[in-house]
Chain A
């Protein structure tokens, strides 16, 4: 089936540093998402993105977070500066559009902030 690729699979950084998580969504998909999952806890929505703009964001999407997809390349989540509580697995997802469309997920990037 359609594949969403996430790079890297693991990232370890020191608190206060900047980190960029990369996502290569399914080629014909138009809507892109980032979700955060702390081990053993629920998947939580961060942000969605369409037509070059943030459509919705949750309270978890702090001012230190930003997303972009320059010129149809990777869809990125940047955290600057990072905090200890940012340690989690971040999942990228995409779909073609509409409320009833299947959301396809990548395998996640495990971020550890020391």
Chain B
């Protein structure tokens, strides 16, 4: 059974800082790794996904995947108060259509 672990559990940074969030997974046969953002009282919203080793950049977001170490990270540049949310890492498996979720990192950006 795939396991997804996220760290840290929570993070408080000042506005404008670079944010780094971590996610490790247990199954090297995993397909895509997704990062979702969830604001209170809302459903998760997909931010960015990655399949191949290396990095992928979209706007202020950069994601790094290292399949050998079973690790993926999300970096948010020039953080804004509106970035305050829970960030969820989710892994899709080749064998089915499910997503396996981490427990999330609660991010607070202080103005």
Closest Cβ neighbor of A47 among chain B residues: B98
**Given A99-B31, A99-B32, A100-B51: A107 and B42 interface contact (C-beta under 8 Å):** yes
Q: Which of A82-114 contact B (CB under 8 A)?
A: 91, 93, 99-100, 102-108
**Is there contact, CB below 8 Å, between A43 and B96?**
no
For chain A, give the interface size range.
20 to 34
Residues of B within 8 A of A14 (CB): none
Tell me, rounded to whole Å, the shortest Cβ–Cβ distance linking B53 to chain A: 16
Flag whether B74 is at the interface (Cβ < 8 A). Answer: no
Closest Cβ neighbor of A46 among chain B residues: B98
Closest Cβ neighbor of B51 among chain A residues: A100
- Which A residues contact B (CB, under 8 angstroms)? 4, 31, 41-45, 48, 55-56, 58, 91, 93, 99-100, 102-108
> Can you name 14 A-B pairs with beta carbons within 8 Å?
A42-B101, A42-B103, A43-B44, A48-B97, A48-B98, A91-B43, A99-B31, A99-B92, A100-B92, A102-B49, A103-B34, A105-B45, A107-B41, A108-B43
